[in-house]
């Protein structure tokens, strides 16, 4: 008999269910005696002992279902060592519930913060296997995370649909794409959607150069310009501020987001009408695309194989088109960012896309 715990933590995304299905099917097909426990709402379920036993039928029909059948929540890593409002030691509570259920392993699906806590639990002696989930694709140790490609598809579709109205009215349109710290989603969706200007956190922009790119399009006879802007895009001036100064700058800003600030600056300098579209959480919602269904299933299957082999302390990743096992301590606390000198950025510039730098 093997007993496995499952939880999904952090922001939800497409293919979480597909990945869990991959784990479960591999375990059920590889061993007759399997008990699966799903912790509800992420680490909260593990902390407070909220869980349910899962059967084979619970994983039927969820390959195409978005979100997570277990629910999720954000439990910041920085607060994990702090007692809750009732004085409960969260780490000890998680360990207690793990041992109470006599688990052989805990399978954790999540992003950066989730992996920090997963590694903490590994350091505390628990058997842990993780799967890389995030629409930002910013997890260290893997070329791809599930949820990313589905989010790219949705953001791209938004830019596609903006094209017709932008061309009809001769306006500047800004599509604000998710991504506070990294720009993989904006970069890929911007290229796929034919954006003229792409602004990402890793390449601070000069608003004058953004405006110049718009003016050059006008001079060539283009009636409209589309900008794909990451929600974490930052100007060269703001990038020079300290972390504390930047937080104050954002808090005191009159704009709801950087896209509206950019829109205002473009209008002041050109007089052109500017519209902002924010697809927001639609980017992490709905059914996973075909790529993510296959990808998440493969990752889940490998996680199941790790458990059957009794090998723990790994994140299942994807490097050079192959599924790999990455030691968890090499992943936790590291952020994968867009390299400003990456070939994809250079190729985008060759296509005439401006990054405002």
Q: Is 238 helix (H, G, I), strand (E, B) or coil?
A: helix
Single pTM value for the model:
0.94
Q: Quick check: 17 and 62 in contact, CB under 8 A?
A: yes
CA distance 307 to 40: 21
| E-state strands within 121-261 | 128-132, 172-177, 197-199, 225-230
Q: What pLDDT, on the 0 to 100 scale, is given for residue 248?
A: 86
Judge whether 292 counts as a catalytic residue: no
Rounded to 10 deg, the angle between the 184-192 and 148-169 helix axes is: 50
Report all structural domains of the chain as residue ranges with CATH numbers, in order of start. 2-147+288-331 (3.40.50.450), 150-284 (3.40.50.460)
Q: Which of 136, 138, 289, 292 is catalytic?
A: 136
In order along its 357 residues, the chain shows pLDDT tens digits of: 999 999 999 989 999 999 999 999 999 998 779 999 999 999 999 999 999 999 999 999 999 999 999 999 888 888 888 999 999 999 999 999 999 999 999 999 999 999 999 999 999 999 999 999 999 999 999 999 999 999 999 999 999 999 988 888 888 999 999 998 999 999 999 999 999 999 999 999 999 999 999 999 999 988 899 999 999 999 999 989 888 888 888 888 899 999 999 999 999 999 999 999 999 999 999 999 999 999 999 999 999 999 999 999 999 999 999 999 999 999 998 999 999 999 999 999 999 999 999
Q: Is 291 helix (H, G, I), strand (E, B) or coil?
A: helix
> Distance from CA of residue 73 to its chain's centroid?
14
Q: What pLDDT, on the 0 to 100 scale, is given for residue 54?
A: 96
Residues in Cβ contact with 181 at an 8 Å cutoff, skipping those fewer than 6 apart = 136, 138, 201, 232, 335, 337
Q: What pLDDT, on the 0 to 100 scale, is given for residue 89?
A: 95
Q: What pLDDT, on the 0 to 100 scale, is given for residue 212?
A: 96
């Amino acid at each position: 008999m093997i007993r496995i715990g499952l939880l999904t933590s952090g922001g939800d995304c497409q293919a979480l269910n597909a990945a869990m299905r991959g784990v479960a099917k591999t375990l059920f097909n590889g061993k007759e005696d399997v008990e699966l426990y799903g912790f509800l709402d992420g680490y909260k379920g593990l902390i407070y002992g909220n869980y349910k036993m899962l059967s084979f039928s619970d994983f039927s029909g969820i390959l195409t279902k978005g979100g997570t059948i277990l629910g999720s929540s954000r439990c910041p890593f920085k607060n994990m060592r702090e007692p809750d409002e009732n004085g409960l030691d969260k780490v000890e509570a998680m360990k207690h519930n793990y041992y109470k259920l006599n688990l052989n392993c805990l399978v954790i699906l999540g992003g950066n913060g989730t992996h920090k806590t997963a590694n903490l639990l590994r350091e505390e002696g628990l058997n842990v296997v993780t799967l890389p989930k995030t629409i930002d694709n910013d997890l260290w140790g893997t070329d791809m995370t599930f949820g990313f490609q589905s989010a790219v598809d949705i953001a791209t579709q938004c830019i596609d649909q903006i094209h017709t109205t932008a061309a009809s009215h001769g306006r500047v349109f800004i599509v604000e794409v998710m991504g506070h710290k990294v720009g993989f989603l904006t970069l890929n969706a911007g290229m796929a959607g034919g954006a003229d200007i792409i602004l990402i956190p890793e390449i601070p922009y000069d608003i004058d150069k953004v405006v110049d790119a718009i003016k050059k399009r006008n001079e060539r006879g283009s009636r409209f310009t589309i900008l794909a802007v990451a929600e974490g895009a930052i100007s060269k001036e703001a990038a020079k501020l300290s972390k504390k100064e930047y937080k104050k700058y954002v808090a005191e800003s009159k704009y709801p987001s950087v896209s509206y600030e950019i829109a205002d600056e473009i209008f002041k300098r050109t007089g052109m009408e500017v519209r902002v579209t924010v697809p927001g959480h639609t980017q992490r919602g709905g059914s996973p695309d075909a790529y993510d269904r296959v990808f998440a299933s493969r990752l889940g299957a490998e996680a199941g194989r790790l458990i059957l082999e009794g090998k723990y302390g790994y994140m299942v990743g994807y490097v050079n088109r192959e599924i790999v096992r990455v030691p968890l301590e090499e992943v936790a606390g590291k952020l994968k960012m867009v390299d400003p000198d990456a070939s994809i950025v250079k190729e985008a510039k060759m296509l005439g896309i401006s990054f405002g730098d």
